[in-house]
Structure 1
Amino acid sequence: MTSMDPAAGRPVVTVVQHDDDVPLDQFAGWLDGLELRVVRAWAGQAVPTDPDLVGDGLIVLGGQMDAYADDVAPWLSATRALLAAAAGAGVPTLGICLGAQLLAVAGGGRVQVAAPAGREAGITEIRWHDAAAGDPVLGTLAAAGRRTPMPSMHADAVVELPPGADWLASSERYPYQAFRLGSAWGVQFHPEASAALLRAWAREHDDLDAAAVGGDYAAREPEISTAGRAIAEGFAAVVHARAQRTNPRERSPDETFHPR
């Protein structure tokens, strides 16, 4: 069911944010024509449990905790359940970094905390697989070239994809950089992150040179921004298409999830 915003005539996308310092960042301006409703889970706002209530799409962002850390972030259980339900219900869904790891676990895959290959930080070369060609969200990048530079910042990693998932991209250090499960996409990298945000994350780790990370980003910023925008616009197009296929009269605007 659609949850198109009646005031603006725009499809509604619920965004689950796990940490104050891991926001939508550049995606907020790239997701054209969408009404974004941010659930600040770290601040106590409840994650919806029914995929019908998220609106026309769902985005689950990254975070500092691991995908199994329910003791630290008690909303993760609800988020995993929501991801599994949304992927199976045809709701366009995008999981980024921790969001991708939560999607993998929710679908029956596995994440390794503190993976032996170590932290993947800075600008990572994403290598697209043949399965990504023609993908409605990532296919533009796969068609443009076999590799795309993308911001990364993670030490945990997906080590087993969910049954039935399509494997879409890899990097030299970690194999599972992008995958699709039903109507949900997971990306281990951070297409939303600006240079300033990536530098801020790097400053939180003693083993990273934040200035070098920022310099690497600046050297390839046009490519990175073009690729990030392409992912955002591809996802927005999928959301718009679903909203147009769904009868807006099936659901009252009052039934749409509103973060509290």
Structure 2
Amino acid sequence: MSATRILVVQPDPSDPPGPLGDWLTEAGAELELRRMPADGIPDDVGGYDALICLGGGMGAEDDTAHPWLADVRRLLARAAAQDLPTLGVCLGAQLLAVATGGRVVRGDRGPEAGPGLVSKKDAAWTDPLFADLPLLPDVLQFHADVIESLPGQAELLASSPRYRNQAFRLNRRVYGIQFHIETTPGVVLDWAANAVKVAAAAKDGAFEPHTLAQSHADLAQTWRPFAHRFVDLAAARLEPANRKPRTLPLT
């Protein structure tokens, strides 16, 4: 049986695949990592079973400083149009949202940073990737931009008290998560040192070594099975979500 091929786009050196990459490979995936902009990306997703786009410090439409972002958005749009199993993480989710008709802005309630929780929405309970997550999954936040509006027909899967659009699904196999699940304590400490204004939004003690160690143990317990399910979805071993039912206006 051939391995499940996943194209992983890394927009920023500061956000590697980390544990997420390990969880995917242990579930049988073969990762092809493209570090931007040096490695470039293909024009389409032919030959891949899935696509993942990781996070980064730039804005989703910061094309002046990072002109290759337009290529990443085009690739995500093509993956979404083909309903290829796709996962956008933080910036990756924002790029996916913009590429498919959503809107990303600077959050008017300030950044989200540090370990936290999100709350599953109704659609998550019947979603193949999200159904088995706890009601309040542990996540790691570190962002100042937010997804203000989701693409049309997107299903909202998770929210936080500060910002509503924390996780969503397009079609049957295309996902975006505003938070991080791929970090290590060292990665987070580097972010906090280099983005002081964002880090200042975290609770007191959020970046203490014992706090980060415990939060990453919680992340692994919650999101390692999620990563395995994503590989199963890409390998067609897991049934995708049902399409959002069309509703007629009441008369």
> Shorter chain as normaliser: what TM range?
0.7 to 0.9
* Secondary structure of 2:207 counterpart: helix
Contact 1:127 1:147 in 2 (8 A): yes
* Secondary structure of 1:64 counterpart: coil
Aligned residue number for residue 11 of structure 1: 4
Say whether 1:62 aligns with 2:55.
Answer: yes
Aligned residue number for residue 103 of structure 2: 110
Equivalent position to 2:178, from 188, 196, 203: 188
Equivalent position to 1:154, from 140, 143, 158: 143
Aligned residue number for residue 188 of structure 2: 198
Alpha-carbon separation, structure 2, partners of 1:226 and 1:50: 34
Equivalent position to 1:225, from 202, 209, 220: 220
**C-alpha distance 220-17 of structure 1, shift in aligned 2 (>3 A):** closer
Say whether 1:90 aligns with 2:83.
Answer: yes
1:1-260 equivalence runs, <5 A: 9-31=2-24, 32-42=27-37, 44-53=38-47, 55-112=48-105, 114-141=106-133, 145-182=134-171, 183-207=173-197, 208=199, 212-214=206-208, 215-241=210-236
Question: Given residue 133 of structure 1, which amino acid in structure 2 is its aligned partner?
Answer: W
Q: TM-score, normalised by structure 1?
A: 0.83
Provide runs of 4+ in structure 1 moved above 4 Å. none
Alpha-carbon separation, structure 2, partners of 1:47 and 1:75: 9
Report the CA distance between 1:125 and its aligned residue: 1.1
Contact 1:13 1:57 in 2 (8 A): yes
Q: Higher relative CO (CA 8 A, sep ≥ 6), structure 1 or 2?
A: 1
Alpha-carbon separation, structure 1, partners of 2:82 and 2:135: 31
Alpha-carbon separation, structure 1, partners of 2:227 and 2:79: 19
Report the CA distance between 1:192 and its aligned residue: 1.1
The two structures, once aligned, show a CA RMSD in angstroms of 2.0
Contact 1:168 1:179 in 2 (8 A): yes
Structure 1: 5+ residue stretches without partners: 1-7, 244-260
Question: Given residue 235 of structure 1, which amino acid in structure 2 is its aligned partner?
Answer: F
Contact 1:56 1:242 in 2 (8 A): no
Report the CA distance between 1:90 and its aligned residue: 2.3
Question: Given residue 212 of structure 2, which amino acid in structure 1 is its aligned partner?
Answer: Y
Report the CA distance between 1:242 and its aligned residue: 6.7
Contact 1:191 1:227 in 2 (8 A): no
Report the CA distance between 1:84 and its aligned residue: 1.3
Contact 1:51 1:89 in 2 (8 A): no
Normalized per residue, the structure richer in helix is: 1
* Secondary structure of 2:220 counterpart: helix
Structure 2: 5+ residue stretches without partners: 239-251
What number of residue pairs does the alignment pair up? Answer: 231
**C-alpha distance 63-220 of structure 1, shift in aligned 2 (>3 A):** closer
Contact 1:138 1:234 in 2 (8 A): no
